[in-house]
Amino acid sequence: MIDPRRVRRGAALTALLIPALALAADDAPRRPGPTEPGPALPNLAVPASWRPQPTLVAAARAAAATDAGPRPMSFAAWGDPVVGCFATAVTIGLRSADVATVAGQLRAALATAVNVEGWTDDAGVLAARLNRAGWQGALRGLISARSAPHATVVACFYNDRAPTRCQAACDALLASLPDGNLTNRGTP
């Protein structure tokens, strides 16, 4: 039996990403409003047993309408509520192309809501471990300052039901986020 409280907690964690990304995206005033379709999300190696999670996508959209304002964004979410593993992917159009600034603002904004450990930023390829009471996980993100600046962030998180199994699934999913053509290495 799926515990709806676990899915709601996952939705709450998903909703935390949106204000953090919105703050990192720029310093322009945000106003409530619908988001525009954003850059396409990359293909990720989502575990075969995970299913789309419309509740998590709805939480992301609701947070975006409130906290990110009208800007290009794309969302996806998957998970296995029985086991307690979830992932959310968000791509947001950026108005600022300063990779270091966006990365620093994202880290600071996330730290107001979750414990952020082991933060790394290698030319716009971000990684960190996240934890909050009852949940843990990881984040991997890519910030592109090329012709259409954008950030893609994937957060994978899980409860204490099957942490070893979920961590392995999350690690594989996050490792599948391509970085070859999205990073700021080399020439544009």
Q: Is residue 184 part of a domain?
A: no
Torsion of CA 30, 40, 74, 71, to 10 degrees: 20
pLDDT at 13: 56
| Residue-wise pLDDT tens digits, 100-152 | 887 887 888 788 778 889 999 988 899 999 898 888 999 998 888 777 788 88
- For 34, the domain range is 4-175
Check: pTM over 0.75? Answer yes or no. yes
Establish if 76 belongs to a structural domain: yes
Residue 185 domain-assigned (yes or no): no
pLDDT at 50: 94
CA-based torsion, 166, 183, 72, 111: positive or negative:
positive
Percent of the chain with pLDDT over 70: 68
Q: Does 75 reside within a domain?
A: yes
For 75, how many CA atoms within 13 A lie in the half-sphere containing its CB? 24
> Which two three-digit tokens encode residue 157?
């998180």
Specify the range with the lowest mean pLDDT, choosing from 15-29, 34-48, 60-74.
15-29
Task: Quote the number of domains for the chain.
Answer: 1
The verdict on residue 160 lying in a domain is yes
